Structure 1
């Protein structure tokens, strides 16, 4: 077989591969943007992509200190709930780094409260960060992908988008919205099997992650519904885009069956929820928030009344303790890690 024939076969194989598989993530060519990439799952995704030699840009309200930044990653301070900040960041990235060809929408927050206990601000902020930000980033970065006929849009949703526990209404609604957004966007870009515009979509629906976002939340079953390590989920995401996968990936195994319950009669769903304990999973989270809030209130009360602190020298340390307790309460209430 001649060299010319080998080149010809390689060319035909590439055409066939592009038709069937489409684009795959290639570190030498692709620029990856990860929202919420400073902490939790997002940080691990950034690390694993950067380890492959790819250029990564991170959009996050939190920018790590220089010693904590991941090599090959460029950080842009950006409130992803603000569409103007996203548009401004996109222009900066385009001028300073290049055209983003892989977008991973990962940013998310949650608040474990009932609908009546949620403030209007908490509801709006959860929907803005978890759902609307994905609309904003897609509108900002997709046009350049279409011009290049090369792109990948990865949406990090959750199995809770299919079955949401009590006290996670805003979070569950936002994740359900992401699932719908992914589905609609996929077919706006043309039939996935043909991929006419060269832009792929991929939906990731993990179960509960071992991150600070749901610290203290007990899973219904450690065997059937184990907590997932961020490193494991990140490796699944990165491997999927390297292989050129599209469609939906649910983790772990039970996630593949949860959508089936949406089609079942409500008595079966109610029984399943009762057996699994899904609606009690946030109870401990709520109790923990209450204990932290009570601790903050108690310290604040004592700091206002020095006589309760014993000596004037105790006032200084109490302020530090108050700050630490307040930070803990805020971290529990609004953590930026994604499930």
Structure 2
């Protein structure tokens, strides 16, 4: 299938070296338990005695790395529970905003697996041909309208589609100072970016609860939902609302009074940095080493892998997005310095100014 993402100019090779890449290499080498235990084994092959300081250091290092890996696995199990059983002959994926960007990539991945996919969008996906595309069903739907979502749910039932995996990906972006935003755009942004998630959860969650093997809910928020950013008030407010919605629904499903089937629902919160999708076209990352632009294919692979494992969790790419919560423990003066150094509040200035010039020319 052809990708819906427009080609971008090739970047220099050195720009591919990022903090995420370095950490990935370390996790696969010296921070991996298998590699850590190779060190003392190698030293023993050189006839170094167990009492030698190098051997003792190597043993301590290997034990610490192994213990950390075991504790991380235990923490993951305690935090998110056991995985749900996946039956791919019965799974059905519902994706809002699946006609382009990250959603389109995920649609193609599931289609190639032969999984039924229902795309809910106001624009139909282009180039819907190729392997597995016969499993993709498009429903023209404004997910900001609860009646429209409910109508699609009834049509899906008539088509023999029974949702088990729900993606809330619908999003729009209106970069602008708050006082320059017309009230209509404020309302549209909040409805598309936040209210739509309420609508789909209210409509499809009962169907997921009724599924024999439960279901999975994926909410695409943003690291900006935790940070906020200048010239993106409506977008960041909606993304913060999605994080709160995810946490609240997850807490409700964990209550003793939760409806039947709640224990089989898995929830995944995705809080990425800037994505290389048309939604963020023209926006340059302030720091490519610390905050590289996330390729949709890479993020989609991680999300789909987590779903296939039947697990809950939070996915944050790049690495800084998973550490951003620590920013809140700093004094505000240091937070302000960190925001200035990261360039988060100036990232949209160029886009806002360019669009203002384009509007002025149009007038």
Which TM class, normalised by the smaller chain length?
0.7 to 0.9
Match of 2:233 in 1: 169
* Contact 2:83 2:309 survives alignment (8 Å): no
Match of 1:236 in 2: 302
Match of 2:280 in 1: 214
Question: What is the count of residue pairs matched by the alignment?
Answer: 279
State the 1:184 CA deviation.
Answer: 0.7
Pair 258,26 (structure 1): closer, same or farther in 2 beyond 3 Å: same
1:186 aligns to 2:247 (yes or no)? no
Match of 2:66 in 1: none
Deviations 1:260-316 (A, max 9, x none): 11232211111111111111100111122123323433xxxxxxxxxxxxxxxxxxx
Pair 30,123 (structure 1): closer, same or farther in 2 beyond 3 Å: same
Match of 1:10 in 2: none
State the 1:109 CA deviation.
Answer: 0.5
User: Aligned equivalents of 2:265 and 2:246: distance in 1?
Assistant: 13
State the 1:259 CA deviation.
Answer: 1.3
Pair 243,110 (structure 1): closer, same or farther in 2 beyond 3 Å: same
Pair 32,65 (structure 1): closer, same or farther in 2 beyond 3 Å: same
Pair 25,232 (structure 1): closer, same or farther in 2 beyond 3 Å: farther
- Secondary structure at the aligned position of 2:219 is classed as strand
1:293 aligns to 2:344 (yes or no)? no
1:51 aligns to 2:112 (yes or no)? yes
* Contact 1:182 1:203 survives alignment (8 Å): yes
> Greater shift after overlay, 43-52 or 65-74?
65-74
* Contact 2:110 2:117 survives alignment (8 Å): yes
* Contact 1:157 1:203 survives alignment (8 Å): yes
User: Aligned equivalents of 2:335 and 2:81: distance in 1?
Assistant: 38
Within a 5 Å distance, the mapping from 1:109-124 to structure 2 comes to: 109-124=172-187
Within a 5 Å distance, the mapping from 1:295-334 to structure 2 comes to: 295-297=361-363
* Contact 1:214 1:285 survives alignment (8 Å): no
Aligned-residue RMSD, C-alpha: 2.2
Within a 5 Å distance, the mapping from 1:1-339 to structure 2 comes to: 21-65=82-126, 67=128, 70-149=133-212, 150-190=214-254, 197-297=263-363
More RCO (CA 8 Å, sep 6+): 1
User: Aligned equivalents of 1:191 and 1:200: distance in 2?
Assistant: 14
User: Aligned equivalents of 2:85 and 2:268: distance in 1?
Assistant: 12
User: Aligned equivalents of 1:209 and 1:66: distance in 2?
Assistant: 22
- Secondary structure at the aligned position of 1:57 is classed as strand
State the 1:145 CA deviation.
Answer: 1.6
User: Aligned equivalents of 2:121 and 2:178: distance in 1?
Assistant: 27
* Contact 1:59 1:76 survives alignment (8 Å): yes
Deviations 1:145-202 (A, max 9, x none): 212251111101111110021001110000000000110111111169x985311111
Deviations 1:65-118 (A, max 9, x none): 565694421000001111110010111111113210100100001110111011
- Secondary structure at the aligned position of 1:257 is classed as helix
User: Aligned equivalents of 1:175 and 1:24: distance in 2?
Assistant: 30
Pair 65,166 (structure 1): closer, same or farther in 2 beyond 3 Å: closer
State the 1:222 CA deviation.
Answer: 0.6
Pair 65,252 (structure 1): closer, same or farther in 2 beyond 3 Å: closer
User: Aligned equivalents of 2:127 and 2:289: distance in 1?
Assistant: 40
- Secondary structure at the aligned position of 2:218 is classed as strand
Displacement over 4 Å in runs of 4+: 65-69
* Contact 1:216 1:288 survives alignment (8 Å): no
Structure 1: gaps of 5 or more residues: 1-18, 298-339
